[in-house]
Amino acid sequence: MIAPMTMRESAVRGVKVVELRHARDAVRGDLAVIEFAEVLPFKPARCFWTYAIPGQQVRGEHAHRECSQFLVSAHGTCRLRMDDGTRQEEILLDRPEIGVLVPPMVWAEASGHSADSVLLVLASHAYDPADYIRDYHEFVRIMREIAP
């Protein structure tokens, strides 16, 4: 039996936490599914994953101007902290059927990786260094300027 997909809004503007369709099978193993058209508001242009993160290193630590991302802990665990300049939320990614949709202009950091952590990311855009905001204070300044 495949469990249905569910989605909830995060406290952070535009972020959605998704429980993907999944099936548990003690005999054959488990399965999680991303139906792109159902879950993603974009067509993935890039896929990458982080792994073998040493010690307590933090990955991410940036926002994108245009790119949206969907993050899933394919293996192991990590903590995803998101920030829209006003509100923050931290989500423990500890099951491969949980994904987080992070829209543009949301600061994101992944930390607390287990030794076996593999964080899979589907991105709406190809890599473009100009799309990144890597300084948190600059991000907050930009968010204040564009806030209604």
Q: Tokens 């242009």 label which residue?
A: 45
Catalytic-labelled residue, pool 22, 62, 75, 125: 62
Neighbouring CB atoms inside 10 A of 21's CB total: 18
Contact 69, 102 (CB under 8 A): yes
Active site residue 125: no
Amino acid type, 31: L
Contact 101, 70 (CB under 8 A): yes
Identify the DSSP state of 130: G
Rounded Cα–Cα distance for residues 116 and 145 (Å): 40
Where in the sequence numbering do the catalytic residues fall?
A: 62
